Amino acid sequence: MTTTRQDIRRPARPAPPAPRATWRVPSSWPQVLIYAGAVAVLLLWWHGTRSVTGLDGWLTEAGRVTGLLAGYGCAVLLALMARIPALERGVGTDRLARWHAMGGRYTVSLVCAHVLFIIWGYAVTSHTDVVHQTTSIVFDYPEMLKGTLGFLLFLGVAITSARAARRRMRYETWHYLHFATYLAIFLSFGHQLANGAQFVSSPLARAAWYTLYIGVAVVLAWFRFLMPLVRGLRHDLRVAAVRPEAPGVVSVYMTGRHLEELRVEPGQFFRWRFLTRGLWWAANPYSLSETARGGRLRITVKEAGDHSRALARLRPGTRVWAEGPYGGFTGARPHHERALLLAGGVGITPLRTLFETLPGDVVLVYLARRPEDLALRGELDAIAAARGSRVLYFVDEPAGYSLPLHGRALRGLVPDIRHRDVYLCGPPGMTNAAFRALKQAGVRRRHIRNESFEF
């Protein structure tokens, strides 16, 4: 049976101070920069194109401009997933992932359009058929065999990234297949410089393209590969203990050195790589479920697959590499002085740290399937008692203790909900229903903070 705790009148204790916030990129800046870069690419094409006449000219130039935009799109896609800390904090990891997915669809479409228009335009110019022209381009033009292989790899990545295909494979399998994008871009880069009219005739354009790609490569290599290695060696993070919290839910405690240098903000997550058999090759995202302090980090994980299931069997002393902290699901830049935390299932993990550290009037609503699934309940009660806040529990079983996710029910629980920042975390079905209910309750979308790991 569920219980609720309301209007607790014990003396309030100040919440522990959150770590000093680090600089983050305003969320609008990256979009402005991306669009400005696209305009610069169009100007590059315009400057290098003297005139366009006839059907063959229009087709060929359409192929060239789509090729330039596709090349630029590849650099943007890599930069979005470079895990730049300021970008991750300011924009949010899930939002960057959505931009990356949308940009990937645009880029693959541009690549396909580039191939179609170039072959068609050259065929019209040479007065030959498309099949013969395709063979001629692939085997007679410099760097075209590499370019063709890169194009096929792009198509393969696009097919495996489609929603229907991703549902049929493990996340780790899809993740490593996605690395073929790096090879596709590498193969296509030489082809573009060797055959692109804008680059053949302009050393300045070639220098600009090299600068773009080398800059992205340096950022990617540092933040995706070198920084995790350096931090892994410096912090010497190791598993200290594994403790059950609820059916199928465990907490993994880790200790290390100089952890204060990580400057973790409540609500953020790391990508964890446990260096033990069967787990070392996968880096999965889990939020901290305890405020980072005293040389200790903790995650709380629900069994949802092979990786999460194996965490329950970790042995003390297992070495851990943590990439992060990531994410913009924090208390930075609040709109209101009051907050509502809405958690579903193991989505309580980042909200537990926010419940402890957010200033002002905070209400926590925690939804679960059964009473025994309410993980970290003792800690939540203690935090609520210490700071004089409300924590409300609702379960689906037994019947009669659930919370219907609609606007009227939320307004009944929290009458001033429209004047609160809402932090939402839970499984996809619950969060989708909660978004609709919050909209019905009059909460503005920009006042709802949510970060999903459904990448």
Q: For residue 320, what pLDDT is reported?
A: 95
Range of the domain at 400: 4-16+331-450
Residue 325: is the preceding peptide bond cis (ω within 30°)? Answer: yes
- Specify whether 83 is located in the same domain as 60: yes
Q: For residue 17, what pLDDT is reported?
A: 46
Residue 358 sits in a domain of what CATH number? 3.40.50.80
| pLDDT confidence bin for 103, thresholds 50/70/90 | very high
Give the three-state DSSP class for 399. coil
CA–CA gap between residue 354 and residue 336 (Å, rounded): 15
Contact between residue 68 and residue 44 where contact means Cβ atoms under 8 Å apart:
yes
Q: What is the mean pLDDT of the chain?
A: 87
- Specify whether 273 is located in the same domain as 420: no
- Specify whether 316 is located in the same domain as 377: no
**Residue whose structure tokens are 């340096």:** 218
Q: Can you tell me the mean pLDDT for 31-35?
A: 93
The two structure tokens encoding residue 43? 């100007």
Q: Can you tell me the mean pLDDT for 312-338?
A: 91
Q: Which residue has the higher pLDDT, 307 or 117?
A: 117
Question: What DSSP string describes 369-387?
Answer: SSGGG-TTHHHHHHHHHHH
In a domain, 136, yes or no: yes
Contact between residue 86 and residue 93 where contact means Cβ atoms under 8 Å apart:
no
Q: Is the pLDDT of residue 57 over 70?
A: yes
In a domain, 455, yes or no: no
In a domain, 22, yes or no: no
- Specify whether 97 is located in the same domain as 220: yes
- Specify whether 267 is located in the same domain as 176: no
CA–CA gap between residue 94 and residue 96 (Å, rounded): 5
Q: For residue 235, what pLDDT is reported?
A: 94
Q: Using CA atoms in the order 378, 380, 383, 387, what is the torsion angle rounded to 10 degrees? A: -130
Q: Can you tell me the mean pLDDT for 112-131?
A: 93
What distances in angstroms separate CA 92 from CA 96, 186, 424, one per listed residue?
A: 6, 28, 14
- Strands 319-326 and 269-274, by their bridges, are antiparallel
- Specify whether 246 is located in the same domain as 175: no
Q: For residue 40, what pLDDT is reported?
A: 94
Q: Is the pLDDT of residue 22 over 60?
A: no
- Specify whether 12 is located in the same domain as 89: no
Please say which residue of 230, 245, 274 terminates a domain.
230
Q: Is the pLDDT of residue 23 over 70?
A: no
Q: Can you tell me the mean pLDDT for 219-239?
A: 92
Q: Using CA atoms in the order 290, 291, 296, 300, what is the torsion angle rounded to 10 degrees? A: 20
Residue 292 sits in a domain of what CATH number? 2.40.30.10
Please say which residue of 195, 230, 265 terminates a domain.
230
- Specify whether 217 is located in the same domain as 244: no
Please say which residue of 311, 326, 341 terminates a domain.
326
Q: For residue 120, what pLDDT is reported?
A: 94
pLDDT digits (tens, 9 = 90+) for 234-261: 999 999 999 999 999 999 999 999 999 9
Q: Can you tell me the mean pLDDT for 43-62?
A: 90
Contact between residue 184 and residue 159 where contact means Cβ atoms under 8 Å apart:
no
The DSSP letter of residue 226 is I
- Specify whether 103 is located in the same domain as 142: yes
In a domain, 423, yes or no: yes
Q: Which residue has the higher pLDDT, 372 or 23?
A: 372
- Specify whether 446 is located in the same domain as 302: no
Number of domains in the chain: 3
CA–CA gap between residue 6 and residue 9 (Å, rounded): 9
Phi, psi of 404, rounded to the nearest 5 degrees: -65, 125
Phi, psi of 335, rounded to the nearest 5 degrees: -95, -30
Least confident of 145-149, 287-291, 397-401: 397-401
